Amino acid sequence: MQSLKILLLGAAIGSATVLPASASSSAWYNSEGGKVRLVTSGKPDEAGRILGVLDIALKPGWKTYWRDPGDAGVPPQLDVSASTNIAGATLAFPAPQRHDDGYGKWAGYNYPISLPVTFKLATPDQPAVIDADIFLGICETICIPVQTRLTVDPTSEPDNADDAALVKASFMALPAPAKPDFGVNVLPGDHETLVVEASFPGAPEAADFFVAGERDYMFGTPSRSEKDGKLIFTVPILDRPSTTPTDGGLHYTLTSSAGAVEGLLPFP
């Protein structure tokens, strides 16, 4: 997608709908390729978390990206620093699909998608208002960065059944945690490749492996091979930090005909 023209429209991109927000969701924000809103389940749980989704309603023929969009996409980003009594927010991602649109290969979604979000209260049992600055790419032949602020007062109607159902369904659709018979093991590689052995149910041709470039790592498209009856993915390391991180890891998702799992890999 390197030759894809990016149309920079700044804050003027799209227009917010004039319809009022419904209950524990924000108003829709319209752009050329679709619209976005923020939905919450309303009430915080006992751990001081409010669950929600970034709801992305794409028009036919348009797409948006996974946590690692490839070399020219725009990953979804959410900043809640302007919020009241919100300490942070974490986006989660359904299993992506791999696409080749003639410009390049990328991981993401070419259909409407809801990205789960977990908001953490700074002070439990105190009111919170979510002011979330959203930045994501919605692309056809032109990639339009969508930038807006979405506001939600989760207490405005905390028992909205439709909002709660959407949030619950989105979290249930996330990949399951990886396990020994459905996941990957890292094999010896070198400074320029990440090599993993995949275990999964179903046919090998239906399996795919996605790893997110984070902490200054950048990865190419995995190649596939078989060794001793096992499916091997070899991923080019296109860029890496000068010093290998010692904390955390790289998010990965492994998909198969039986579903998807996710986990963390040690930094190569």
Q: End of a domain among 120, 154, 174?
A: 174
Q: End of a domain among 108, 142, 174?
A: 174
Q: Kindly state whether residues 151 and 213 are assigned to the same domain.
A: no
Q: Kindly state whether residues 166 and 36 are assigned to the same domain.
A: yes
Q: Kindly state whether residues 92 and 209 are assigned to the same domain.
A: no
Answer whether residue 18 is part of any domain: no
At 15-70, the pLDDT tens digits run 333 333 445 899 999 999 999 999 998 888 888 999 999 999 999 999 999 999 87
Q: Kindly state whether residues 163 and 60 are assigned to the same domain.
A: yes
What's the domain count of the chain? 2
The whole domain housing 82 covers 29-174
Q: Kindly state whether residues 160 and 214 are assigned to the same domain.
A: no
Gyration radius (Cα) of the chain, Å: 19
At 232-242, the pLDDT tens digits run 999 999 999 99
Q: Is the distance from CB of 40 to CB of 130 less than 8 angstroms? A: yes
Spell out a b/e string for 132-155, using b for 16 or more CB atoms within 10 Å of the CB, else e: bebebbbbbeebbbbbbebebbbe
Return d(Cα 253, Cα 175) in angstroms, integer: 8
Q: What is the CATH number of the domain that holds 221?
A: 2.60.40
Each residue's pLDDT expressed in tens, for the chain with a length of 268 residues: 433 333 333 333 343 333 334 458 999 999 999 999 999 988 888 889 999 999 999 999 999 999 998 766 788 999 999 999 999 999 999 999 998 777 677 899 999 999 999 999 999 889 899 999 999 999 888 788 899 999 999 888 777 888 989 999 999 999 999 999 999 999 998 889 999 999 999 999 999 999 999 889 999 999 999 988 899 999 999 999 999 999 999 999 999 999 999 999 999 9
